[in-house]
Structure 1
Amino acid sequence: MTHTPPRASHDHDPHAAHQHGADHDADGQAEILDLDAEVLAEHIASITAWLPVGAGPRHIVDLGCGTGTGTFALLERFPHAEVTAVDTSTSHLHRLFEKATKLGLADRVHPVQADLDATWPDLGTPELVWASASMHHMADPDRTLRQVHDTLAPGGLFAVVELAGFPRFLPEDAPEDRPGLEERCHAALDRHHAEHVPHRGADWGYKLTATGFTVEAERTITVHIGPPHTDAVGRYALKSLHRMHSRVARTLTAEDLTALDRLLDTDSPHSILRRGDLTVRTERTVWAARRT
C-alpha cells in the first residue's frame, strides 16, 4: 500500500464531494441514499465488478461518499482494500462509520470531511478513485479532475458514475386523475437543474480526456426493477418524490400539485405506498479513465 489514509476524528464528518446538500437536509437525503443502495445493490455490484482494475487496489478514495453506497460496494469487491471516504456532510460520514462499525469494517474505512471546492485534502496516492453522482455538483469540475489526476498513483483508475436524474416509478398513465404527472415533474426538475446544477449531463469522457486521462471504457447500465416490488421500492419512491416535490412545487399547476400531494400522503388511499404497479427505471453511465 502506497499510503496510510488520513483518519478523521471519530465523532465523524461527511459529504464533501457529494455536494448535494448541506447538513440541514442530510437526514432526508441520507434515507434516500440508503434506499438507493438497498434497491440498486445488484446494479452497483455489476459496476464495481466491471471496472478494469487489474490487480486489486489497496487504497481507494470515494469522492462524495454520502452514506457509503460506493464505499461498501468497493470494500466487498476489493477485500484487501481500504477506502478513504470523503464528503462534506458530517452527519453522512457519521452514519457511514456507524455502518462500517456494525459490519466489522471500521479498520478499513477512513472518513475525511472536506469541501472539495475549497482546500483539497491530503488523500495519499490511491490506485482507484470513485466518484458517483458527485462530479456534477462541483463548482469547478475541471479543477477537480486535475486534482484527481495528480492524486492518483501512476496507472491508477478514476471511475466516474453519473445518474440520469431521479428514477421514475409510476406508469405513464398514472395517477388516474393526472396521467403523465411524473414526467411533468421530471421536466420541471430538469429546468431546476439546468439553472442550479449546470454541470449535470456533462460529457465526462471528453473532460477526462482533456485533463490527460485515457478513457479505457464507458458503459451505460439500464435499470428496470419490478413489479412486483419490495417495500424498500415503495419507500424509495416516496422519499424520492418528496425530494422532487421540494424542488418543483412552485412550478407545477395546481392540479398536478394536488395529485402529487395525494401520492405523498401515506394516509390517503391514493398513496404511492398503496400502488402495486411501481417500477424503478433509471440509467447510470460509467467512465473508467486511466492515469497514464
Structure 2
Amino acid sequence: MVHTPGDGPQQQLDDQAEILDLDAEVLAEHLAAIVAELPFTASPRQIVDLGCGTGAGTFALLDRFPDAEITAVDSSVVHLQRLQEKACARGGEARLRTVLADLDDPVWPDLGTPDLVWASASMHHLAQPDRALRAVRDLLAPRGLLAVVELAGFPRFLPDDAPEERPGLEGRCHAASDRRHAEHVPHRGADWGPRLVAAGFAIEVERVLALAVEAFRRPAVGAYALSSLRRLRGSVADALPIEDLVALDGLLDVEGPRSILRRADLAVRTERTVWAARGANRA
C-alpha cells in the first residue's frame, strides 16, 4: 500500500524532520569531509549554524571542533527539539545553544561574535537572503568565516532510464516540482558567489561536489528514497500524467514487485556546492 505524507502543518514538519535525519545519516561521511576542509589555521571557538534543521551540520561541527560552542538557529520548534534530544543523547548539550528565530526578520537575536557561520541548505529558503548575508558579515568576528553549502536540486535515486515502464520518471517529477517551487522558493539552485561578493565577502573556496552513495553501502538509502519520493509525490501528483503516477506508486509500494527497495541500482545522487568566504577588508 502506498503511503503519502499528510497535508497538516505538523505532519509536514515531521516528514521534513525525517528526511533531514536520513539525509544526515546517508551523507554523514561527505558532510564530515566538507567540514574538515574548511580553510582554518586555528579552530573556531564560537560557531553559529543558521537554519540548522535537525542538526546534521551542527553535529558534524561539534565533532570536528571539540573545543567549540555552537549556537543552532532555526524557525522550527520541531527541528530544534529534535536537535536538542539528539544532543542530550550524545552528551553534547553543554556545548550547544538553540535559538528559535526567523532569519527573514530584519532584526536578529543576539548570536554573539562567531568565528564561523555555517549555512547549509538554508539560504535558498529565505525571502531576503541578501539582507541575511549582510547581517552575517556584520556578525562575524574579524577574519571569521562564512560557509554556505547549497544543493543543486532534489536528490536523484534512480538512473535516467528507469523505471523500465516509464523511463525518465524521476526527471519529470523533478521538473514538475521545480515549476511548482519556482515562485515560492526562487533562490533554490542560485549561484551564491556573486551574492556573497555583493554582500561584502571575499570568496576563498568555491567547489562543486558530486555525491553518490549506493544502497548496499548504506541501509538508510532505501528509507531516504522512500521518504523523499513520497514527499515529492505529494507535491506533484496533480501535475503528472496518470502513467507516471502509476509508475511512481509502484516504486513506493514497499510490498509490490516494482518497489524501489527491490532495485539493485538504487542510490543517492546529488550535487552540493560549497562556498567559504570572509568579510572583505576586515582585519
Aligned counterpart for 1:228 among listed residues 211, 216, 221: 216
Say if 1:169 and 1:278, in contact at 8 Å, map to a contact too.
Answer: yes
Q: Sort the Cα spacing of 1:243 and 1:59 in 2 relative to 1 into closer, same or farther, 3 A.
A: same
Give the superposition deviation at 1:251. Answer: 0.8
Aligned counterpart for 1:80 among listed residues 67, 70, 73: 67
| CA distance in structure 1 between the aligned counterparts of 2:18 and 2:11, rounded to whole angstroms | 14
Unaligned runs of 5+ in 2: 1-7
- Report what 1:31 is aligned to: 18
Please identify, of 72-81 and 270-279, the stretch whose mean Cα deviation from structure 2 is larger: 270-279
Say if 2:74 and 2:102, in contact at 8 Å, map to a contact too.
Answer: yes
| CA distance in structure 2 between the aligned counterparts of 1:272 and 1:158, rounded to whole angstroms | 38
Q: Sort the Cα spacing of 1:247 and 1:185 in 2 relative to 1 into closer, same or farther, 3 A.
A: same
Matched residue type, 1:197: V
Aligned counterpart for 2:256 among listed residues 264, 268, 280: 268
Are 2:276 and 1:288 aligned? yes
Report SS of the residue matched to 1:174: coil
| CA distance in structure 2 between the aligned counterparts of 1:221 and 1:22, rounded to whole angstroms | 33
- Report what 2:181 is aligned to: 193
Report SS of the residue matched to 2:164: coil
Report SS of the residue matched to 1:259: helix
Matched residue type, 2:56: T
- Report what 1:95 is aligned to: 82
Unaligned runs of 5+ in 1: 1-20
Q: How does 1:40-51 map to 2 (within 5 A)?
A: 40-51=27-38
Q: Give aligned pairs, total.
A: 272
Give the superposition deviation at 1:188. Answer: 1.1
| CA distance in structure 2 between the aligned counterparts of 1:115 and 1:225, rounded to whole angstroms | 33
- Report what 2:4 is aligned to: none
Say if 1:169 and 1:280, in contact at 8 Å, map to a contact too.
Answer: yes
Please identify, of 182-191 and 155-164, the stretch whose mean Cα deviation from structure 2 is larger: 182-191
What does the per-residue CA deviation read over 1:67-102, in whole Å, with 9 as the maximum and x for residues that have no partner?
Answer: 000000000111100110000111110110110001
What does the per-residue CA deviation read over 1:186-224, in whole Å, with 9 as the maximum and x for residues that have no partner?
Answer: 111121222221111222111111111111111111112
Aligned counterpart for 1:218 among listed residues 203, 206, 217: 206
- Report what 2:58 is aligned to: 71
Matched residue type, 2:273: T
Report SS of the residue matched to 1:167: coil
TM-score by length of 2: 0.93
Give the superposition deviation at 1:137. Answer: 0.7
Report % sequence identity.
Answer: 67
| CA distance in structure 2 between the aligned counterparts of 1:237 and 1:187, rounded to whole angstroms | 18
Runs of 4+ more than 4 Å apart: 21-24
Say if 1:43 and 1:221, in contact at 8 Å, map to a contact too.
Answer: no
Give the superposition deviation at 1:274. Answer: 2.0
TM-score by length of 1: 0.90
